[in-house]
Structure formats: C-alpha cells, structure tokens
Structure 1
C-alpha cells in the first residue's frame, strides 16, 4: 500500500509506504487545539516508510515529548511526532483519500466534547453557498487548493 497527502496549499507533500497503524480519533484537549476541531484523526507510520516529498513542514513542540508538523504557508496540521520514537503520525484528513484509513478507536475521551455522540443525529445539508452570487461555482472558479494527488509542479502555471 502507498498513500500520499499534503497540506491545503500544496507547499508540503508526503508519502507513506505500507500500512498506517493505530488509526484513531484523538479527543485530548491538545489535539483539539492543534486541529481547531473537536478531535484530530491520526494514524502512524514507521519513519523508514515515510517521506516528505515536497517542501518542509514547520514544527511546534506542543509538550516536552511531542512536536507537531504543519504547513507554515497555509497552516494545515500534518504530523504528530513523539520525540525519540521511530514512528510518525499523519493527520488522516491530510491524506489525498481521507477515507482510505478508517479510525479504529476514540482516544483521549476524557476531553471529548459532551455532544460528540449526538453529532451524527443532527440534520444534514449539502453545501450550496447560496450566500455567494454564483454559489459553489464562485468557489470552484477561484479555488487555490492543491488537488488530491501529486503534481510535478505547484502552483501550476495556470494558477501561478
């Protein structure tokens, strides 16, 4: 198995050979803040099976034993690294195919938001962006997000 991923702007790209292990949703307060979300989905790879293929992530040491990698250009959270470990975790949402790895567990549940289990029961709506003059077409025509696959060059000559 080979997986690729990267940040929203395309400045940082990575590849993982083999299987990602220990896929989970981390609900700890530190991951909540790092993701700007209720949880952070993560899974680990041996560092020998992992490579950054474009750019260089920036790192923030969020605690004594842990540092977190992110794109310094667009801010996308990408990596979680326990210092001294021979593994690195990637954020599952940064994979080109986020559905390729299904979480196996919920971790750090002592900090899980109280309404988490009720979220799937909330009403669902498709995104239409009717607040914009031409709706989703306005976003499609002005999209600067990197595509969900590797590119030889980014930004492309068409978007530079």
Structure 2
C-alpha cells in the first residue's frame, strides 16, 4: 500500500494487510476532515515514510494525535498516545485498497445534514 497527501509532500507505504475501514463521526474527526473520517489502520512499526518533509502532528486530545501535511493541509493519520497502530485516512491511499467500510463510530455526534442508511453497524461511541 502506498499513499500520500494532495501535494506529495508526505508519501507513505506499508507492506501489511489493512484493517477494514471505520467511519468515525465524532466531533474531532468531523472538524479535522470537514465530514466524517473514514480510516483504515496498520501497525505503526509497519508504516514507512517515503517523504515526510511536509508532515506535522497535532495533539488533538489527551489520548491522541493527528498527522497532517503542513503544505496542503491534508488530514492523513490518527494515532492513540502509547498505542501501536496508526489510522490512515482511506482517501489518501493510492489505487485499490481491498477493504471496505465495516461500521460507524460516534453516530451520536454525526452531523444533522446526512443520514446513515447503508445497513452497517452503528455505535454511539467506539465499538
């Protein structure tokens, strides 16, 4: 798997299976992405930065940080503090991903301008 930000200042790779995509509707994910955050994940140790001169991190809460491109603003990563996985924005992956959306998290916080009617499991918080 290979992915990047919009301008190419951040390019990453991982040679490991991707987790199914989770659609997170929490307020932080909606604020950082402009809608909901659809992300897969890989073990942090398996994620390789091919180019990272544009990569910046923001501590978004006591328990997580978010990686983004400081040049184009693309939201790229989410990491739990002390965790061993990195979530990757599904839309930042180049080509076919081989994964699909598995469920919706934080639906109690979702925007009022859209409906969730895809039949997938929905959780008020993380499952």
**Does the 8 A contact of 1:92 with 1:101 survive in 2?**
no
Runs of at least 5 residues in structure 2 that lack an aligned partner in the other structure: 119-127
Query: 1:104-129 deviations in whole A, cap 9, x for unaligned?
Result: 01111111123422799xxxxxxxxx
Separation of aligned partners in 2, 1:70 and 1:118: 27
Name whichever structure is richer in strand by fraction.
Answer: 2
Please report the TM-score for the alignment, with normalisation by the length of structure 2: 0.84
Runs of at least 5 residues in structure 1 that lack an aligned partner in the other structure: 121-160
Please report the TM-score for the alignment, with normalisation by the length of structure 1: 0.68
Separation of aligned partners in 1, 2:117 and 2:6: 25
> 1:21 Cα deviation (Å)?
1.4
Tell me the equivalent position of 1:156.
none
Q: What is the root-mean-square deviation in Å for CA atoms of aligned residues?
A: 1.9
Show the 5 A alignment for 1:1-80: 3-37=1-35, 39-56=36-53, 57-80=55-78
Name whichever structure is richer in helix by fraction.
Answer: 1
Q: Give 3-state SS (helix, strand or coil) of 2:115's partner.
A: helix
Separation of aligned partners in 2, 1:68 and 1:114: 25
- Equivalenced residues, count: 117
Separation of aligned partners in 2, 1:118 and 1:91: 19
